Structure 1
């Protein structure tokens, strides 16, 4: 070791863009908390991004995982966690969430 500090490997960033006009902050914050609890060692950040016009978009590293207008409403937590898992760690088992 050369004595210089090494930056930790970058972990994925998830963003949740929510509509402030629709007052969806609590929904976005709850989903962020669920993701941070489940993927505590795998995510570097979950950002809450205020928006307008009915937007509710969840993205990981620029890839849209869920768009309220495209996907029809809001994701349930199971679907959201599975989409995040499929993006950041496809081989990971989510336990009871993966069972029918």
Structure 2
């Protein structure tokens, strides 16, 4: 899994926070999560090289939305508790 973020826009804190949220939620399902520096306003979340969220098309993600998309790919049977509502 990977979160690519724009260094010019100083989005490392946002990417790190989202990474923490995902690693906490999927601690058994994810084997790694990379933070990839980029430029040009990029903020893209990928699972197995598949784009699940792209800021340019969808805006900045709410963590619950990304968690649902990641869950659907790595652990479809997993309940997200209050994030499901």
Q: Same fold (TM over 0.5)?
A: yes
2:50 aligned with 1:63: yes
Q: What is the Cα deviation at residue 70 of structure 1?
A: 1.5
Question: RMSD of the alignment, in Å?
Answer: 0.6
* 5+ long unaligned stretches in structure 2: none
**2:72 corresponds to which of 86, 90, 96:** 86
Greater fraction of residues in helix: 2
Give TM-score scaled by structure 1 length: 0.83
How many residues align structurally?
85
Runs of 4+ displaced beyond 4 Å: none
Give TM-score scaled by structure 2 length: 0.97
Larger RCO of the pair (alpha carbons < 8 Å, separation 6+): 2
